[in-house]
Amino acid sequence: MKPKNTICLWFDKDAHEAARFYAATFPDSKVTAVHKAPGDYPSGKAGDVLTVEFTVLGIPCLGLNGGPTFKHSEAFSFQIATDDQEETDRYWNAIVGNGGQESAVRLVQGPLGPLLADHPARAHRCACGGRW
């Protein structure tokens, strides 16, 4: 059954590259469909990737190659609760090692868009008074 909620991420032209990166980096992540333009259109040509359907940690997403109008910012990120520091470092290093940029409060901006606000799950449980 198709999920009722899908995260739509706007890209200039790198939706497919971003989806492949997420799929290669995180478990339970994959590219599920790539939709290309059937013919030429005002800002592109036949065969250009228009949208990409993918999952990140089981969360359905749609990458939309909509042009440079909207930029990614730290206002949106995938928050990933890791089991330990080793897992956190593995994701962090994969992102930074592929052109991502470190930011404040354990936030890393992916090279192709919003990516990761990560912290071990234990830290989140402690900050929330034991509730998750």
pTM equals 0.79
Is residue 61 located within the same domain as residue 10? yes
Same domain, 87 and 52: no
pLDDT of residue 66: 94
Last residue of a domain, one of 13, 36, 68: 68
What local confidence, expressed as pLDDT, does residue 111 receive?
A: 61
Question: By mean pLDDT, which of 24-38, 53-67, 109-123 is the weakest?
Answer: 109-123
pLDDT tens digit string along 84-120? 888 888 888 888 888 877 776 556 666 656 555 555 5
Three-state secondary structure readout of the chain: CCCCCCEEEEECCCHHHHHHHHHHHCCCCEEEEEEECCCCECCECCCCEEEEEEEECCEEEEEEECCCCCCCCCCCCEEEEECCHHHHHHHHHHHHCCCCEECCCCEEEECCEEEEEEEEHHHHHHHCCCCC
Q: The domain containing residue 87 runs over which residues? A: 72-132
Same domain, 47 and 106: no
